[in-house]
């Protein structure tokens, strides 16, 4: 009987401790639902409403019927009509287009003579998984249309010709470099920096810093610069490996490429500062960074799962993540040679996030850092 009361007392004590710890409550009650939502609903390899462009060179009604059938599928959404093949490169660089379907002149004549029409697919292969999946679906839709028009044709007697752009060999290591760079920045610039700041609190050395004539800006900048230097080192080291081993060349402006990496690195450091201003223990830093920074940016940025496979609402949420802007701009600059104008949205999002994070983290650090000025 006494043992039972002791156990009940300990259970009550532990329940109160859990309830009073907001982080524990969030992990125990919200995390399972979040994981189920993200991995069960949001993340999928299924392609939905992939933005494509089409070319009907002779404006043939049969081609329009084919395009209507493609548009009717849940996999593709025709967002642009081009006039000739010379506009393809500009469309990939300027518009959010992943595939161009070209139906040259003679489509109707070829169908009338029982031939499989000459149709070409131009695919953005900077993401090989997405490119292969989109090509397979497009070929199935086109072949099904041709077989409806020509029932006597043997299945798969011919298929549309696919031309993979920006990564002709469909090398997966080429597509993984932007995501790996993102992970390196998050680990060094966000997690390690925030752990360093919170470590000062745990050791009590933040009080010693508060007694020095250093301002908050001096302390933050002094502690951040070594991590920025390490990040810059990794920018060049990872790019060196990409260039000499994977033979990846920067198609765009190298200065713009460097500016993107530095902007994302500073953005990640601002995230680390914000987290450090909110918590007092290194364990809390690790948990928060893992749950709210690392996992969302890795799984919802387009690094592993295509953005086009997500529901529309979560696609908008994904664009709030800095990793999404970084990977999109990285692929545009390195693979497509797109300039600043074509990357205006990713750069604008990263800059606006940086300003908001710095303002929020500055207020928190001044309030919680033991009197830094």
Q: Domain containing 89 — which CATH number?
A: 3.40.1710.10
Same domain as 315, residue 203: yes
pTM of the predicted protein model = 0.83
Q: Which of 140, 165, 190 is the last residue before a domain boundary? A: 165
> How many structural domains does the chain have?
2
In a domain, 25, yes or no: no
Tens-binned pLDDT, residue by residue, of the chain (373 aa): 666 677 777 777 777 776 777 666 666 777 777 777 766 666 666 788 889 999 998 889 999 999 999 999 988 999 999 988 888 888 887 767 899 999 988 888 888 888 888 899 999 998 888 899 999 999 999 988 988 887 766 655 678 899 999 988 888 878 888 998 899 888 888 888 888 888 877 777 766 766 777 777 777 888 888 988 998 998 899 889 888 888 888 999 999 999 999 999 999 999 988 888 888 888 888 888 887 888 888 888 888 888 877 777 888 888 999 999 999 999 999 998 889 988 999 999 999 999 999 888 877 766 655 544 4
Q: Give the range of the structural domain holding residue 79, as residue numbers without chain letter.
A: 50-165
DSSP at 369:
S
Tokens, residue 203: 């050791």
If asked whether residues 205 and 71 sit together in one domain, one would say no
């Amino acid at each position: 009987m006494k043992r039972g009361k002791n156990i009940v007392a300990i259970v009550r004590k532990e329940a109160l401790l859990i309830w009073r710890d907001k982080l524990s409550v969030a992990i125990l009650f919200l995390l399972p639902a979040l994981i189920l939502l993200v991995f069960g609903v949001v993340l999928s390899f299924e392609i939905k409403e992939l933005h494509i462009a089409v070319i009907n060179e002779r404006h043939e009604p049969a081609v329009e019927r084919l395009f209507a059938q493609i548009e009717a599928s849940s996999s593709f959404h025709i967002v642009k009509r081009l006039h000739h093949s010379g506009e393809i490169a500009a469309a990939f660089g300027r518009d959010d287009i992943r595939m161009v379907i070209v139906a040259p002149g003679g489509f109707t004549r070829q169908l009338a003579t029982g031939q499989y029409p000459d149709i070409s697919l131009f695919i953005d292969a900077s993401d090989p998984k997405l490119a292969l999946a989109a090509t397979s679906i497009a070929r199935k839709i086109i072949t099904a249309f041709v077989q409806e028009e020509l029932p006597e044709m043997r299945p798969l007697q011919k298929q549309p010709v696919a031309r993979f752009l920006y990564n002709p060999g469909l090398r997966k290591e080429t597509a993984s470099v932007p995501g790996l760079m993102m992970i390196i920045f998050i680990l060094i610039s966000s997690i390690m920096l925030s752990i360093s700041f919170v470590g000062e609190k745990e050791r009590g050395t933040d009080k010693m810093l508060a007694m020095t004539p250093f301002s908050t800006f001096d302390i933050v900048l002094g502690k951040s610069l070594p991590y920025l230097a390490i990040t810059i080192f990794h920018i060049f080291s990872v790019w060196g490996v990409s260039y000499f081993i994977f033979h990846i060349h920067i198609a765009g402006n190298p200065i713009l490429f460097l500016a993107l990496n530095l902007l994302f690195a500073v953005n990640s450091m601002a995230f680390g500062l914000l987290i450090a201003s909110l918590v007092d223990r290194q364990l809390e830093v690790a948990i928060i960074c893992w749950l709210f920074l690392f996992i969302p940016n890795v799984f919802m940025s387009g690094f592993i799962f295509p953005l086009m496979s997500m529901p529309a609402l979560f696609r908008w949420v994904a664009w709030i993540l800095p990793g999404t802007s970084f990977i999109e701009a990285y692929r545009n600059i390195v693979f497509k040679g797109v300039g600043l104008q074509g990357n205006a949205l990713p750069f604008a999002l990263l800059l606006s996030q940086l300003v908001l994070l710095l303002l929020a983290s500055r207020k928190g650090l001044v309030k919680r850092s033991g009197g830094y000025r």
